[in-house]
Every structure is written in structure tokens, then in C-alpha cells.
Amino acid sequence: MKRSLWVLVWLSLCAVSVLAQDYPVEIELRPPDSRPVVIIEEPLDVLELDAVGAVPQRPVPPRVCRVCDQKTVPGHCSCFELLDQPMAEELLREISASLNPLGLKLNRPVRIKAVSRRQLQNLGGERLLGLYQDDVIYVNFELERREARGVIAHEFGHAWFFQHRRDVNSPGELVFEGFPEFVSFLALTRLGDKRAADRIAYEDQTVYGRGARRFIALYRKSGLPAVINQALYHDDV
Ligand SMILES: [Zn+2]
Ligand SMILES: [Zn+2]
């Protein structure tokens, strides 16, 4: 029995090999598909493919800078740019243009120079961010645009004061520093930087802030002519 079973298996194998020779299997060869395989995980009607099949970028919604409230690309607001000479000149022009229509005009033009902290120290003493001297405004170039604007507007206030008041040495500190700080408040308000203007309006720890608050109160009660009159002819506010 066992022997006859092996014979049967051998005969079957022979039959298969003969059949295989009679009917060779052909495999059709095709050139490989050169188109890339794109796996789309979302339904087509949601994905909205454009003409060449690329997925369009979804527009980034505009954001508002938390420092200056201007609409900006996230992390790239121009208010953080460091000051340089062209920016200092641009800011002075911007400040003059915001104040001139109100009647706060300079008698003669002033120049502006962006300088180092050490240069400012040599000119006027330590811890200065800006300085007005002999028709030149000096401003520290380590400041960012948002800080420099307020400092330059303050120095513009000193320039106006020195050019218009006869006895510049007689007024007290509240007028001498409070008026330029008020001018800074006014320029920042008109230029739309409400946060920076508010910082001046609510500051009461220094003579700058206390003086500015008194001028702001006078401005709100009686207008700009009253402020100018106070700054030109009074020693206190
Ligand atoms: Zn900003
Ligand atoms: Zn000052």
C-alpha cells in the first residue's frame, strides 16, 4: 500500500511538470507608474485642491499687538524694532506732524541724533533716555520704536519750551518736566498709541508723572490754550 501511494504521487508530479512545459506562464511587464502616490486623508470637497493639486495655505488671521494695539503679524510688530538714525528722524517727523495742527510748532527746526547710552551719559548725566540741547534732540538707540516715540515726543516738548519761554530756569520741576511729559501724552494719543499715553496719565511716582497729570487735568478742563499759557507764564501747575 505505501509503495503504491508514492508511485501515485510521482506520477502526479510528472503530469504537472509536463503541463507546465506545455503552457508557460507569461508575466506582462509594464513601465512603472511615474505619478507620485498622494494619500488624501480628508474628503476632497473639504480639502479644496487647487489646479496643480497643492493644498492651499489657510490665511493666518491678523492679530493685534499686545503692546501697541496695532494689527500685526504675530511676533513681528514694528513697535519692537530697535531705534536707528533713519527711524529717529521718521519718528520726529511723525510727532511734529501730529502736534503742529494743534499749534504746538517749533520756531526753528531741531535735528535728532540716535546715540549710545555712554554718549548720553557724557552729555547730560546718568540714566538718560533722551536729551534736548542747542536745537538737537539726542535719543538712546538701545530703545525700541514704541519707547523711543514717547521719549522723542518728550524732548520735542523741551525743545518747544526752550524756544518759546523767556525765563527757562525759573519754573519748578512740575512745569519743567511735566509739560514735556504732557506733550508726549498728547502726541502718543494723536498717533493712536493709547497704552503708552495711559502709562503717562496714570503715573504718579515721579515729578514727570505728577506734572503731566496736572497738565492733562488742565487740558481736559480748559483746553490746550490754557496749558500753553501755564507752561509759558507760570512757575507751577
Ligand atoms: Zn506693537
Ligand atoms: Zn525731560
Nearest ligand atom owner, CA of 67: 1
The secondary structure of 23-44 as a DSSP string is: S-------PPP-SPP----S-H
Boundaries of every domain in the chain: 82-233
Rounded to the nearest angstrom, the distance between the alpha carbon of 78 and the centre of ligand 1 is: 6
CA angle 182, 184, 189 (to 5 degrees): 95
Nearest ligand atom owner, CA of 125: 2
The mean of the pLDDT values for the chain is 83
What is the spatial distance between Cα 144 and Cα 159, in angstroms, rounded to a whole number?
22
What is the spatial distance between Cα 152 and Cα 175, in angstroms, rounded to a whole number?
18
Coil, helix or strand for 59?
coil
Q: What is the mean pLDDT of residues 123-132?
A: 89
What is the spatial distance between Cα 194 and Cα 49, in angstroms, rounded to a whole number?
44
Residue 49 confidence (pLDDT) above 80: no
Top-ranked range on mean pLDDT: pick from 9-18, 69-78, 218-227 = 218-227
Nearest ligand atom owner, CA of 146: 1
Rounded to the nearest angstrom, the distance between the alpha carbon of 65 and the centre of ligand 2 is: 28
Position 99 confidence tier, pLDDT thresholds 50, 70, 90: very high
Rounded to the nearest angstrom, the distance between the alpha carbon of 195 and the centre of ligand 2 is: 20
Rounded to the nearest angstrom, the distance between the alpha carbon of 26 and the centre of ligand 1 is: 72
* More confident: 47 or 62: 62
Percentage of the chain exceeding pLDDT 70: 75
Residue 230 confidence (pLDDT) above 90: yes
Nearest ligand atom owner, CA of 68: 1
Q: What is the mean pLDDT of residues 94-117?
A: 96
Tell me the pTM. 0.73
Burial class (CB in 10 A: 0-12, 13-18, 19+), 93: exposed
Q: For domain 82-233, give the CATH number.
A: 1.10.390.10
Residue type at 203 in one-letter notation? E
Rounded to the nearest angstrom, the distance between the alpha carbon of 81 and the centre of ligand 2 is: 23
Nearest ligand atom owner, CA of 72: 1
* More confident: 4 or 60: 60
Position 13 confidence tier, pLDDT thresholds 50, 70, 90: low
Residue 16 confidence (pLDDT) above 80: no
